[in-house]
Chain A
Amino acid sequence: MKRKALVALAGQPNCGKSTVFNMLTGARQHVANYPGVTVEKKSGFFAVDETKIELVDLPGTYSLSSYSLEERVARDFLIHDHPVLAVNVIEAPNLRRSLSLTFQILELELPTLVVLNMMDMAEKRDMVIDTAALSKKLGAPVVTSTACKSQGREEVAQTIKRMSASDAVVSFRIDYGPLEYAIAKIEERLPRETFFFLPRRWLAIKLLEEDAGAIHIVRENAPDADQIFEMVRELSAGFRKENGEIPESYMACCRHVLAGEIVAACVVSPKDSRYVLSDRIDAVVCNKFMGPLILVAVIFLLYYLSIDVGYRLTGPLVNQLLAFKATLSSLLPAPGVIEDPLFRSLGIWFMESMVALLTYIPIFLILFALIAVLEDSGYMPRMAFILDKLFRNFGLHGQSTLPLILAGVYMGGCCVPGVMATKGIPDERARLATILIVPMMNCLAKVPLYVVLVAAFFPQDRTLAMFFISTVTLFMALPVAKVLTLTVLRKHDQAPFIMEMPAYHFPTLKVVAGRSIERTWIFVKKIVSIVAAVSVVIFALLQFPGLGEERLASFEDRWTKATEEFRTKIGKDNAYQGLLAGENLDRYVLFVDAYRQATMGLSDQSAADAVAVEFAAREPAFAPLLKPAAGDKDAAAIRTAMRALDNTRKTIRREIKNEQLNASFLGALGEMLVPVTRYAGFDTKVNISLLAAFAAKESTVSTLGALYTVSDGEKDASLDKRLQTEMVGYTPLHALALMLFMALYPPCLATSIMVQIQTKSTKWMLFSIGYLMFLGITVSSAVFTGASLLGLSGMQAMWTFYGFAVLVTIVLGLYNPQPKPVTILKEKPA
């Protein structure tokens, strides 16, 4: 018979709990050497013989009070979900501190299995732990493991199975000495039938600690809650009078002393040599001068390796994807002469959107691997340590560093993991501020637009222009964060900054590769689902309602006239006249078009010849026209006339596309917005591209690409060249306004969803979209209109704005209306 058991996995931050989870369930889960990475509960399944076990990974917490979200999540699960047992993972080298959580789980009278993890570390440090004695002291089984090497799996799994089948009663109890009287009094006062679902002794202890969660439980369940509270207050006041200490700190002290006694009895340990080494490394890494330099070097290296090297690696991948796309497009319905079948346009549109996104894979693999190295090595908390003071001046937090880097603080990143990473920030106000400014970072999807615009409009000053847009975003984000914390976020809670600095650790290949692949996979899944769906929607919005019959008929007419002209040009006596009669001409036009596309980009003569042979075989009748033999005057005449016909075809196709676009839903919206956006210099086409960007910012370039394509065949000029020639009347100033708007663009669809998840509020999601839209249009309008009035060039306007942004950042950084940023409750005199 199969039994199913619910088991909770609890532990302090950074104890290797996630590694134990992975060891048991085999699932790859986010594991990091950074306190506070796991915040959501995650469950995984595994089986020991016939017993099926559901393991729930709780957030890492130091204790089970009501002070933080993580602790509440963990505690509520332990109380309300009734797991049959709790697996308490302990970082063996840090036993003493870890025991405070163990005590609190045991006080919940939950059967507990203590897993001493990271035993290899403990052994390396010559620590000897007497597990039998420890088990006796705790009244709970103790097993050892080294989860990162999968050692101890069997023993842990078997003990879980054994414990889940037995009805062991927890015998552990802390003696609180002079407080025991008060605890017993309160416990008696709590009716057994009302509080059957949790240990009354625990509730009594928590009431004495003035724990908000316990008070809530009593208020919800007991009709005479106020009298109970009154009694607790009296007992607490009495204790304070006699002992000069409040019950909460007294009890914490009792636990601390007990942990010390247990460790003294069960552990023999010399000084930790890891920290001796860590101290030496920190002396350099956190040094006043070297620290910031190393930090900048690390971030530079991070972006250099992922963006620069990654981009080079995308080359072969792009070719693969394009070849694949060509194969797929041959399966689509054949193109029409002047108008393609709808299904073909949709298919090509869809594939282009996908290819544009999938080319990011190498970049993401490298970026995520490097972030994993930083996390696993223990450098992340040092980054927070170095930058906390700076960030705090803008209402942020040292731990805002990781989200900002992930989102692309310099260039290249993704806001989705960026917003996700804000989970670890304990300070609610700083966390919200970080979430709100993360979309202002230069995520990878914004980069193609920058690259295209810079190449097209700042060809002389590429490096400077790229440097401008890469760094100006931070000087916009920091002041915005400050303004937000002083206004809308003013009333949100702040939390103390107390962060563990784990010992440095050499990252393992397995962890780094695993995490990089996992996160990249998440990104790919995001594309396939959300972006794919949205690209289809946008296609529809761009395509419909479409052109009227009348317009189409007039284009048909023009085409017919052009073909008649073609026939006149080649003359009645042309030897191939018969071959191209009637419908055959259309077929020939498509044949030539397909041939041109197939040979495009082939620099190799032999490859081009092979294509020619293949095409000749496909349509033997047209073969003599492909490469007219010397002296074949008729074929040469056809080639000349064909060129003119082809140009007419392109013009017609382009006009159709333009008209279709202007008549489309998105076109109508883009046009409606022109009265607002014209101050920023955006015309209908730019508006349409920007509207498409909400789905995913990558869409801007592909939409611009589609809008500025002459016809399917004309792909020989790169987009920046095309923009240069096609965007008539566009100046570098226009490009600057557009880049700034993109920098401040509202979060894309996927990020918005993540904002909603992380803030647990649709209001904040809408706010983040709305305020950035407002900010973006304001800034780009101010820059465009202002610079136009002052007669500044694109470059002048760029650096004027840069200087302004830096100035505002400095002024706001120095402005600090509350000299004491953290409000701390002082102990009242007893």
Chain B
Amino acid sequence: MTLGELGPGCRCRVRRLRARGVLCRRLMDLGFYPGVGVKVLRNAPLRDPVELEIDGYFLSIRRSEAHEVEVESHEA
């Protein structure tokens, strides 16, 4: 499953990044590594982008990009 499929309140763990190139680099810069825990905080008013909590801080990411992160869900 991908990060983009998760709704607000979900917690998950990153399995791997599907993306390569710029997107991969940016995701890694911001802490998306295998094993890292991510919490989906909320959607923007128009359902996109998504605000996440990762590694103790917040960031927002578009849903299309969130689909490039494969995750294992912990709880719904």
Chain B residues, CB < 8 A from A248: 24-25
Interface residues of A in 705-744 (CB under 8 A from B): none
Q: Let me know if A275 and B58 touch, CB within 8 A.
A: yes
The answer for the CA separation of A118 and B23 in the assembled complex, in Å, is 29
Q: Pick the contact of B45: A94, A287, A500 (CB < 8 A).
A: A287
Q: Given A249-B24, A288-B45, are A278 and B58 neighbors across the interface (CB < 8 Å)?
A: yes
Q: Which residue of A lies closest to B27 (CB)?
A: A498
Contact assessment for A286 and B65 in the assembled complex, using a CB-CB cutoff below 8 Å: no
Cβ A388 vs Cβ B24 within 8 A: no
CA A384 to CA B60, docked complex, whole Å: 10
Across-interface contacts of A822 in B (CB, < 8 A): 23, 62, 64-65
Interface string of B19-31 (1 = CB under 8 A from A): 1111111111111
Structural contact, A65 and B25, CB atoms closer than 8 A? yes
Please determine whether B18 and A500 come into contact, CB atoms closer than 8 angstroms.
Answer: no
**CA–CA, A65 and B25, complex, Å:** 8
Q: Which of B25, B28, B49 contacts A497 (CB 8 A)?
A: B49
Contacts of B29 in A (CB 8 A): 62-63, 100
Contacts of A271 in B (CB 8 A): 56
A35 closest partner in B (C-beta): B59
0/1 string, B42-54, CB within 8 A of A gives 1: 1111111101010
Interface residue B17 (Cβ < 8 Å from any Cβ of A): yes
* A288 / chain B contacts, CB cutoff of 8 Å: 43, 45
Q: What residues on B are CB-neighbors of A392 within 8 Å?
A: 62
Q: Which residues of A contact B27 (CB under 8 A)?
A: 496, 498
Among B19, B28, B57, B64, point to the contact of A94 (Cβ < 8 A): B57
| Further 11 A-B residue pairs, CB within 8 A, beyond A96-B31, A275-B56 | A256-B33, A272-B56, A282-B42, A385-B44, A385-B51, A389-B44, A495-B22, A496-B22, A498-B30, A822-B64, A826-B20
CB-CB under 8 A from A256, the residues of chain B are 28, 31, 33
CA gap between A824 and B23 in the complex, in Å: 7
30 contacts between A and B (CB under 8 A): A96-B55, A97-B57, A249-B24, A253-B33, A253-B34, A275-B56, A275-B57, A282-B41, A287-B45, A288-B43, A292-B45, A388-B49, A389-B44, A392-B62, A398-B49, A495-B22, A496-B23, A496-B62, A497-B61, A498-B59, A499-B49, A499-B60, A499-B61, A500-B30, A821-B64, A822-B64, A824-B18, A825-B19, A825-B20, A826-B19
Question: In the bound complex, do residue B31 and residue A497 qualify as a contact, i.e. CB atoms below 8 Å apart?
Answer: no
For A291, list chain B residues within 8 Å (CB): 44-45
Q: Which of B28, B51, B55 is the most central at the interface, judged by chain A CB atoms within 10 Å of its CB?
A: B28
Interface size on B, residues (CB 8 A): 39
- Is the pair A501, B59 in contact by a Cβ cutoff of 8 Å? yes
* Minimum-distance CB pairs A-B, first 6: A62-B29, A389-B46, A501-B58, A825-B20, A497-B62, A252-B28
Chain A residues within 8 Å of B, Cβ to Cβ:
62-63, 65, 67-68, 94, 96-97, 100, 246, 248-249, 252-253, 256, 271-272, 275, 278-279, 282-283, 286-289, 291-292, 381, 384-386, 388-390, 392, 398, 495-503, 820-822, 824-827
A287 to B62, CA, bound (A): 17
Which B residues lie within 8 Å of A287 (CB)? 45
Bound-state CA distance A4–B44 (Å) is 50
B residues within 8 A CB of A496? 22-23, 26-27, 61-62, 65
Distance of B46 from chain A, by nearest CB (Å): 4
Give A821 to B62 CA distance when docked, in angstroms: 11
Which residue of the partner chain, among B33, B48, B61, contacts A498 with CB atoms under 8 Å? Answer: B61
B34 — which chain A residues lie within 8 A by C-beta? 253
B36 to A, closest residue via Cβ: A256
Task: State which of A100, A821, A824 has its C-beta within 8 Å of the C-beta of B19.
Answer: A824
Bound CA–CA A649/B7 (angstroms): 79
Which residues in A have their C-beta under 8 angstroms from that of B65? 496-498, 822, 824
B61 lies within 8 A of A286 (CB): no
Q: Which of A249, A253, A389 contacts B48 (CB 8 A)?
A: A389
Residues of B within 8 A of A (CB): 17-31, 33-34, 41-49, 51, 53, 55-62, 64-65, 68
Q: How far is the CB of B55 from chain A (nearest CB, A)?
A: 6
Q: By the criterion CB–CB under 8 Å, are B60 and A385 in contact? A: yes
Q: How far is the CB of B56 from chain A (nearest CB, A)?
A: 5
Whole-angstrom distance between the alpha carbons of A176 and B25 in the complex?
18
Q: Is the CB of A252 within 8 A of B44?
A: no
With both chains docked as a complex, state the minimum distance between the C-beta of A248 and any C-beta of chain B, in angstroms: 7
The one of B19, B55, B60 that contacts A501, using a Cβ cutoff of 8 Å: B60
Report Cα–Cα, A63/B58, bound state, in Å: 19
Which residue on chain A has the smallest CB distance to residue B65?
Answer: A496
The answer to whether A62 and B26 touch across the interface, beta carbons within 8 angstroms, is yes
Contact B42 A286 (CB under 8 A): yes
State A820–B65 Cα separation when bound (angstroms): 10
A385→B52 CA distance, assembly (Å): 12
B52 to chain A minimum Cβ distance, whole angstroms, is 9
**A498 with B56, Cβ < 8 A, contacts A97-B31, A286-B51 known:** no
Bound together, the chains give a CA A381 to CA B24 distance in angstroms of 22
Q: Are A97 and B28 in contact (CB under 8 A)?
A: no
**Complex-state Cα separation, A288 to B47, whole angstroms:** 8
**A62 proximity list for chain B (CB < 8 A):** 26, 29-30
Select from chain A the residue with minimum beta-carbon distance to B64.
Answer: A822
List residues of chain B with CB within 8 A of the CB of A824: 18-21, 23, 64-65, 68
A97–B54 Cα gap in the complex (Å)?
11
- Please give, as numbers and ranges, the residues of chain A lying within 8 Å of B61 by CB-CB distance: 496-499
Complex: chain A residue closest to B48, CB-CB: A389
Option from B19, B44, B62 in Cβ contact (under 8 Å) with A386: B44
Complex contacts, A68 vs chain B, CB 8 Å: 22
Q: Which residues of B contact A100 (CB under 8 A)?
A: 28-29
Contacts of B46 in A (CB 8 A): 386, 389-390
Shortest C-beta distance, A88 to chain B (Å), equals 15
Q: B51 to chain A: which residues have CB within 8 Å? A: 282, 286, 385, 501
When the two chains form their complex, are residues A275 and B53 in contact, meaning their CB atoms are under 8 A apart? Answer: yes
Q: Closest CB-CB distance, B41 to chain A, in whole Å? A: 7
Decide if A249 touches B28 in the complex (CB within 8 Å): yes
Q: Which residues of B contact A252 (CB under 8 A)?
A: 25, 28, 33
Contacts of B68 in A (CB 8 A): 824
Chain A: which residue is nearest B47 at the CB level? A389
The smallest C-beta distance from B48 to any residue of chain A, in angstroms, reads 5
Q: A501–B31 Cα gap in the complex (Å)?
A: 14
A497–B61 Cα gap in the complex (Å)?
6
Considering only CB atoms, which chain A residue lies closest to B19 in the complex?
A824
Most buried by A among B25, B42, B53: B25
Residues of A with C-beta under 8 A to B58: 275, 278-279, 282, 500-503
Contact of A63 among B25, B41, B49, B56 (CB under 8 A): B25
What is the distance, in angstroms, from A157's C-beta to the closest C-beta of chain B?
30
Q: A286-B44, A287-B45, A386-B45 are in contact. Are A499 and B22 (CB under 8 A)?
A: no
Take A388-B48, A824-B68 as given contacts and tell me if A283 and B42 are in contact as well, using a CB distance cutoff of 8 Å. Answer: yes
Say yes or no: B26 contacts A825, CB within 8 Å.
no
A249-B17 in contact (CB<8A): yes
Report Cα–Cα, A259/B72, bound state, in Å: 23
In the complex, how many angstroms separate the beta carbon of A499 from the nearest chain B beta carbon? Answer: 5
A824→B64 CA distance, assembly (Å): 10
The CA-CA distance from A424 to B48 in the complex, in Å, is: 20
A527 to B61, CA, bound (A): 40
- The answer for the CA separation of A822 and B28 in the assembled complex, in Å, is 18
Report the nearest B residue to A211, measured CB to CB.
Answer: B25
- Shortest C-beta distance, B57 to chain A (Å), equals 6
Q: Which residues of B contact A827 (CB under 8 A)?
A: 18-20
Across the interface, name the chain B residue whose C-beta is closest to A494.
B22
Give complex CA distance A253, B45 in Å. 34
The reply to whether A67 and B57 contact each other, CB–CB distance below 8 Å, is no
Q: How far is the CA of A629 from the CA of B24 in the complex (A)?
A: 92
What is the chain B residue whose CB lies nearest that of A62?
B29
Give Cα distance in the complex from A389 to B47, angstroms: 8
Residues of A within 8 Å of B59, CB to CB, are 498-501
Among B43, B57, B62, chain A packs the most CB atoms within 10 A around the CB of: B57
Known: A275-B57, A822-B64. A385 touches B30 (CB 8 A): no
Q: Within the assembled complex, what's the spacing in Å between the Cα atoms of A115 and B21?
A: 30
Chain B residue at minimal CB-CB distance from A821: B64
